[in-house]
Amino acid sequence: MKKLLIVLVVALVSAGCGGNSSTSTDKPVTAVVKVTEANAGQSVELDAGGTLEITLKSNATTGYHWEVMSVDSGILKQEGPPVYVSDPNPEQLVGSGGKTTFVFKALTQGQTDLKLNYTSPANVQSETSFSIIVKVGQ
């Protein structure tokens, strides 16, 4: 009787651990695609509902900032303002740099050129820019 009870418990536990995770009520997993300066000029692909994170070197102490110059906002929507994070600076040096991160949500299938420019405090475009082609699938 004990053996039968143990076998039954093991069978129930095994059945519970091996459930089907692809039921129609499950939400699809949306990927986060992360890009940096190294991806400049390239194409990136993500699914509708996915997230694109762009992290670029910057230095807020100079007044320069990254600004979105062009994007099809019907395909790719910026999620909130860019976030600047200073690099570690244990010596407390003035003028140390950091990184700015932009987050975009892929809304619908399509393709858009995404261009950012490193803009001066007087809002004058610099020669420093970043662009990629974003392809959003289903």
Q: Which pLDDT belongs to residue 94?
A: 80
Q: Which two tokens stand for residue 9?
A: 């418990």
Q: Which pLDDT belongs to residue 96?
A: 85
Cα distances (angstroms) measured from residue 31 to each of 23, 40, 41, 56, 115: 19, 20, 21, 20, 22
Banded pLDDT at 123 (limits 50, 70, 90): confident
Average pLDDT of every residue of the chain:
83
Give the whole-angstrom CA distance, residue 68 versus residue 115.
6
Q: Are 37 and 57 in contact (CB under 8 A)?
A: yes
Q: Are 51 and 108 in contact (CB under 8 A)?
A: no
pLDDT in tens, 66-122: 999 999 999 999 999 999 999 998 888 888 899 999 999 999 999 999 999 999 888
In one letter, which amino acid is 77?
K
Q: What is the pTM of this model?
A: 0.76
More confident residue, 1 or 109: 109
Banded pLDDT at 7 (limits 50, 70, 90): very low
